[in-house]
């Protein structure tokens, strides 16, 4: 280790700050647009136009505009070949470096579930139908899950080791949690972490076939909830050793203070009914942060609006917390799968910075089984020092992340 290198050489854990963040989602492009949508509790779920949904119960999703994705990009032959997920990652990563041009990452950890699934669909259909395979090289080249991450690195002029975490809908939070642990351990000083997923026909139809998607509005934690809607997007956060970030004069947007995971192995698509897995993940995040549940001012819930997920998560939150404000911002933008945890971490970051509670829209009928405060239909001003973000996925994968406001006088 070089002289003057401040990486941890003791059992003391390094503190982890967030020094920049970039996001693309149905809520908007960038932090400013996202904040505006959250403040106004905008419903950004719209009719699906990308592919036919005539045979589906669900007709809506949270979608990112293609024209906006390509705006400002030179329309070269190479850029036309990129998957939509690559363009989302490029926009998110560019926003990070626009805030922190001097951020020098040592690694990049990204969560996703599907990679370039839509190109895989095209290849498979053309192959089986005896169709034109002229574009097969492009389809195959864009299929690997790491391709959008590498495209974003190339666009931003960096080349660092890349890890892809595919752990169902917990992927984005797992990526952030793993990056947090890397910096906390002292083995790394600066890591980029986040998640991406793009809306695809096969995934959309799959959730519809499971009857997990709703033909109605997405109503998390509502007694009359009837299912989820899908979304898409990308988010990247810059995580850095807090002491080193302060020494170089970086702006600290928030501090990540805890991360908890669990796997309940109950069912491939349904959560453990008592909420045990979710409760373990949240409890372990609190334990890692060494804070009591009473210190949490807001929970951004996984809140998919499916009968089973909301019931299990509601029981888990009620068991650990007493009247904490809760909302699921998936009600506004849909469930972006592997990107969800990363996008919702940015939502939590904005809640900490701007001292408000994001809304749980489309909420009409409280469920008697939930003992917490739903932030119903409108954003709410509040003192917000510590927030918890939940992500739970198929196969019983559960992850929770704790973040703290850096303007509360914490040493």
| Known catalytic residue at 354 | no
CA 217 vs. chain centroid, Å, equals 21
Q: Confirm if 117 and 148 have CB atoms less than 8 A apart.
A: no
Q: Confirm if 280 and 260 have CB atoms less than 8 A apart.
A: yes
Question: Secondary structure of the chain: what % helix, strand, coil (to 5)?
Answer: 35, 20, 40
Residue matched to tokens 């001012």: 297
Q: Which of 58, 218, 335, 348 is catalytic?
A: 335
- Select from 345, 400, 380 the least CA-distant residue to 34: 345
| Known catalytic residue at 335 | yes
Q: Which of 83, 87, 302, 348 is catalytic?
A: 302
Q: In 264-396, which ranges are E strands?
A: 298-300, 325-327, 356-357, 373-374, 380-381, 386-393
At 262, list the tokens. Answer: 């669990």
- Select from 30, 65, 23, 58 the least CA-distant residue to 44: 65
Q: Cα dihedral sign for 329, 242, 163, 8?
A: negative
Burial class (CB in 10 A: 0-12, 13-18, 19+), 295: middle
Contacts 24+ apart (CB under 8 A), 103-106: 103/19, 103/20, 103/190, 103/238, 103/240, 103/250, 104/190, 105/158, 105/160, 105/190, 105/191, 105/192, 105/238, 106/160, 106/161, 106/188, 106/189, 106/190, 106/191
| Known catalytic residue at 169 | yes
Between CA 357 and CA 328 the distance in angstroms is: 11
Q: Which of 169, 182, 218, 348 is catalytic?
A: 169
Between CA 373 and CA 171 the distance in angstroms is: 27
Between CA 142 and CA 119 the distance in angstroms is: 7
CA 23 vs. chain centroid, Å, equals 10
Q: Confirm if 30 and 319 have CB atoms less than 8 A apart.
A: no
Between CA 135 and CA 158 the distance in angstroms is: 28
DSSP 8-state secondary structure symbol assigned to residue 14: P
Active site residues: 169, 302, 335
């Amino acid at each position: 280790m070089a002289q003057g290198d401040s990486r941890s050489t003791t059992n003391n854990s390094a503190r982890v700050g967030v020094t920049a963040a970039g996001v693309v989602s149905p809520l908007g492009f960038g932090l400013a647009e996202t904040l505006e949508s959250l403040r106004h509790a905008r419903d950004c779920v719209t009719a699906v136009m990308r592919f036919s949904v005539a045979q589906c119960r669900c007709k809506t999703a949270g979608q990112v505009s293609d024209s906006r994705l390509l705006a400002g990009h030179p329309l070269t032959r190479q850029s036309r070949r990129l998957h939509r997920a690559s363009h989302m990652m490029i926009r998110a990563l560019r926003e990070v470096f626009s805030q922190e041009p001097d951020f020098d990452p040592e690694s990049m950890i990204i969560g996703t579930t599907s990679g370039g699934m839509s190109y895989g669909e095209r290849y498979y259909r053309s192959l089986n139908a005896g169709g034109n395979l002229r574009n097969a090289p492009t389809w195959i080249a864009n299929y690997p899950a790491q391709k959008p991450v590498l495209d974003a690195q190339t666009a931003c002029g960096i080349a660092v080791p890349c890890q892809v975490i595919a752990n169902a809908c917990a992927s984005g939070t797992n990526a952030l949690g793993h990056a947090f642990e890397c910096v906390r351990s002292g083995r790394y000083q600066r890591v980029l972490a986040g998640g991406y997923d793009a809306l695809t026909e096969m995934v959309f139809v799959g959730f519809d076939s499971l009857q997990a998607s709703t033909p109605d509005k997405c109503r998390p934690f509502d007694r009359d909830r009837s299912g989820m809607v899908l979304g898409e997007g990308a988010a990247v956060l810059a995580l850095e050793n807090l002491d080193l970030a302060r020494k170089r004069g970086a702006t600290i947007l928030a501090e990540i203070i805890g991360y908890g995971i669990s796997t309940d192995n109950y069912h491939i698509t349904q959560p453990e009914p008592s909420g045990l897995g979710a409760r373990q993940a949240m409890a372990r995040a609190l334990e890692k942060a060494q804070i009591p549940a009473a210190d949490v001012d807001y929970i951004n819930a996984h809140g998919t609006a499916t009968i089973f997920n909301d019931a299990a998560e509601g029981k888990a939150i009620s068991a650990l917390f007493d009247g904490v404000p809760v909302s699921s911002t998936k009600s506004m933008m849909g469930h972006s799968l592997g990107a969800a945890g990363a996008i919702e971490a940015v939502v939590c970051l904005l809640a900490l910075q701007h001292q408000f509670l994001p809304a749980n829209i489309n909420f009409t009928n409280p469920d008697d089984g939930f003992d917490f405060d739903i932030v119903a239909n409108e954003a709410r001003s509040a003192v917000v020092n510590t927030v918890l973000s939940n992500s739970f996925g198929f196969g019983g994968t559960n992850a929770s992340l704790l973040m703290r406001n850096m303007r509360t006088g914490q040493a």
